Amino acid sequence: LLDIVWYTESMHAGIPVIILDRHRLQEREKPGLELAVVSVPSYACQRHTPLLHHNITLTDALSILADNAELGENEGRGVAFRRAAALLKSLPQEVRGAEQLRGLPCLGEHSLRVIKEVLEDGVSHEVETTTHSEQFKAMKALTGIFGVGAKTADRWFREGIHTPSDLQRSGHTLNRAQRAGLQYYDELNLPVTKSEAVAIGQIVESAVHAVLPGAEITLIGGFRRGKQTGHDVDFLITHPDEGREEGLMPKVVSWLEAQGFLLYQKTTGNSYLESKEGPARPASNMDRFERCFSIFRLSTDNEGRENQTGRENQTGRENQTGREIQTGREIQTGREIQTGREIQTGREIQTGREIQTGREIQTGREIQKGREIQTGDGPQTYSPTLTNTDPHTHSDSPHPLPQTLVVVGDHAQKVSWVLGHSQCSGPRSWRAVRVDLVVSPYSQFAFALLGWTGSKLFERELRRWAVHEKAMTLSSHALYDRKRTQYLRASSEEEIFAHLGLEYIPPCDRNA
């Protein structure tokens, strides 16, 4: 029993679980041992990783270091921190001491050092230094602008541009995406709720069915994994008659544009042609489907039922769509998400997104604040000068960026309050939401679904598993077996996991 490094009350197939140092596992395993002995597998795609887990303080710390590494374009280091965080997310209970981590995979020297510090002192010096660094804050704020990547942000930072306002004043020539990103900065950094995702789904469905009846629309990305908020909404579109989906995106986009639903869109064509490229080169990137990066104009006006579509003048049909989205039930759902399930929401924001930019730290905190002062009244009466008590940001000064105060009980009011106090003149009844649309041929649908459900790390681990353990190449289009020199067909995610020799992991457990 001295070799036991992890003991948990939780059950595995009805038996208490003991996790041993996996290298010593074989040598120590005794016949007749009545307890299940389980080693923690080292690929995230071999593990169940639920959305809510037991080690948020530790994973928050590691995520900040991962963000910082990625912003410094040190991808390898970023992945190492993400893998360590993902391992902790999959553990069945809270880690209380470093000795519990002996023998677990994915924990590099640096990650272990950070974890020990947090376990012993409550904080990590490196994490504190990072969150306080001007460069980190500026890089977060600048890459928080839609259309701005780490390279561009770094160039601007070196020129003394630290905030979106600095950028606006700089007179830099921005591309169309960046101009939209700057224009809708505050709104695009507000988390998108599940009910907003559902409302957008209904609009997308109307558009798709108007131009191609019989087409199928699936909500993908974080929402498919059970998240209650996201930074965007992702949809996958296909049609059971292969070929009917060709050229669909421009038609859908035209329909949405004609209805006034789009504030911005950029469509890229399908460049994946198996016959031309040959079987040895399946796509390794995400850009080969017909894809549309857009910013939607979503009505937040619960009263103005006639106003759901972008245009004021609507046909009866569009009106109906608007009503469906704005039914009492929908509003009720929104409330449930923000009240009944608010703990989850708050937590998600705290772990996942809060840390991404100065703005998001603010947003996450504000939602928590909102919860504390939730009254059901409009948020307009509250003073937006909050003192920062967030352990990650450690500043006693009021937030440096435009103030946003959130009352969780009524998201619509929250949004209109934010909008009413942003650069635009006067409150308005809609918000901007990032939406990604992807069209896939039916035969590739299972691969696209698996590839676009995420999480990003889970996808990365699937591809790494395929290459290193199975000599296969996995993409969002296909699975290629290099030994048998052939593509492996699949019409469901389950079949793909089976081809890969992996236990099926449902979307809700892919939150690595």
Task: Give me the residues that bind Mg ion (CB under 5 A), please.
Answer: 221-222, 230, 232, 234
Per CB under 6 A, does 455 bind ligand DCT? yes
Verify binding: residue 232, ligand DCT, rule CB under 6 A: yes
Size of the site for ligand DCT (CB under 6 A): 13
Nearer to Mg ion, 393 or 453 (CB): 453
Q: Is 221 in the site for ligand DCT (CB under 6 A)?
A: yes
Q: Is 481 annotated as a binding residue?
A: no
Judged by CB under 6 A, the stretch of 36-44, 78-86, 224-232, 312-320 that binds ligand DCT is 224-232
509 given a catalytic annotation: no
The CA distance from 81 to 347, in Å, is 20
Distance CA 285, CA 5 (A): 40
Helix (H) or strand (E) holding 194: helix 194-211
Among residues 154, 166, 436, 509, which one is catalytic?
Answer: 436
For Mg ion, give the closer residue by CB, 300 or 453: 453
Q: Which H helix or E strand runs over 27?
A: helix 25-28
Compute CA distances 126 → 61, 62, 66, 359, 392, whole Å. Answer: 9, 10, 12, 21, 11
Question: Which residue(s) pair with 237 in the sheet?
Answer: 217, 439
**Three-class SS state of 284:** coil
Q: Which of residues 59-78 bind ligand DCT (CB under 6 A)?
A: none
Question: Minimal CA–CA distance to 292: which of 267, 260, 258?
Answer: 267
- Show the site string, 279-298: x = touches ligand DCT by CB under 6 A, - = not: -------x------------
Q: Kindly tell me which residue out of 290, 366, 459, 461 binds ligand DCT, with binding defined by CB under 6 A.
A: 459
HSE-CB for 384 with a 13 A CA cutoff: 16
CB-closest chain residue to Mg ion: 221
Q: Is 396 annotated as catalytic?
A: no
Q: Which stretch binds ligand DCT (CB under 6 A): 34-42, 135-143, 221-229, 261-269?
A: 221-229
Residue 232 marked in a binding site:
yes
SS (H, E, C) 302-357: CCCHHHCCCCCCCCHHHHHHHHHHCCHHHHHHHHHHHCCCHHHHHHHHHHHHCCCC
465 lies in the site for ligand DCT, by CB under 6 A: no
Provide Rg for the chain, Cα atoms: 24
234 catalytic per annotation: yes
Please select the residue that binds ligand DCT; options are 147, 201, 230, 322, rule is CB under 6 A. 230
The contacts of residue 500 (CB under 8 Å, 6+ apart) are 462, 465, 466, 470, 472, 474, 479
User: Is 234 within any annotated ligand binding site?
Assistant: yes
Closest to ligand DCT by CB, 70 vs 390, is 70
Identify the bridge partners of residue 432 per DSSP, sorted by sequence position. Answer: 297
Taking CB under 6 A as the criterion, the residue among 103, 222, 310, 507 binding ligand DCT is 222
Contact stretch for ligand DCT (CB under 6 A) within 35-43, 74-82, 93-101, 228-236 = 228-236
| Catalytically annotated residues | 232, 234, 436
Q: Which residues bind ligand DCT (CB under 6 A)?
A: 221-222, 227, 230-232, 234, 286, 452, 454-456, 459
